[in-house]
Amino acid sequence: MSRRATLVCLLGLLAAVVAVGVLVPLPSPAEVRDWASAAGWATPVLFFLAYSLLAALPIPRTVFNLSGGLLLGEVWGVVIGMVATGIAGSLGFALARGLGRRWVTPLMEVSAIRAVDARLRSGGFPGVLSLRLIPAVPFAPLNYCCGLSTIAFRPYLWGTLLGSLPGTTAAVVLGDALTGTTPPVLLAIYGFLAVAGGYGLYRTLKHRHPELVTDPRDPSEPDDRQVRG
């Protein structure tokens, strides 16, 4: 297919999407909430399963949090969202540690990668907590990075849960009170979380100095035979 034909197809597809959006009436947030309530127990159960499994993939968690607020309301949206966050985070961590370490372990001998791993391990709970507070840090990739590192699971999980709580609550509240525009207060909350998370991460890395294991193959280290000779 030529470039011109591809462009025409894309423009036609865009026009079709716009036409559907204009001509087909979309349900209001209140109507969507009514449909979810009419489904009974199936709505929270299916939402919980979808959140727990799909959030382990590189899918923005904000989509699930907004949907939780819209479908379930503030209280159940936060409760189910946090439980699903813990499960999704554990799945991503376990998959990376159980499968990814097989091919990542040889790379851990590289000094730069070993330094990053040592920083994350020495930061422990405060390091993970600080990273989770920063909205710009994606959820799933951080799960994989922690799983590939040597950080223990318990501080990782607690840092994930506590660090994800403020952002989850803010997004769920927005979904519950969806108006079509982002309230200034939500932007202020995310800005505060970003500053707090960045400062916490800076303090963690500044005051915790990991002891890097010296690579025995490092050319800067004298050879025992040379010393004895």
pLDDT, tens only, 99-136: 876 666 565 555 555 665 666 766 788 888 888 888 77
Decide if 197 is inside a domain: yes
Low-confidence spans in the chain with pLDDT less than 50 = 179, 209-229
**Strand (E) positions, the chain?**
none
Verdict on whether the full-model pTM lies above 0.75: no
Expressed in angstroms, the distance from the first to the final Cα of the chain is: 72
Q: Give residue 208's domain range.
A: 27-212
Give the pLDDT score at 49: 95
Decide if 218 is inside a domain: no
| Burial of residue 151, with CB atoms counted within 10 A of its CB: 0-12 exposed, 13-18 middle, 19 or more buried | buried
Give the pLDDT score at 123: 72
Decide if 11 is inside a domain: no
Give the pLDDT score at 215: 43
Give the pLDDT score at 149: 80
Decide if 93 is inside a domain: yes
Q: How many domains does the chain have?
A: 1
Decide if 4 is inside a domain: no
CA 162, 152, 80, 70 torsion-angle sign: positive
Helix (H) or strand (E) holding 63: helix 61-72
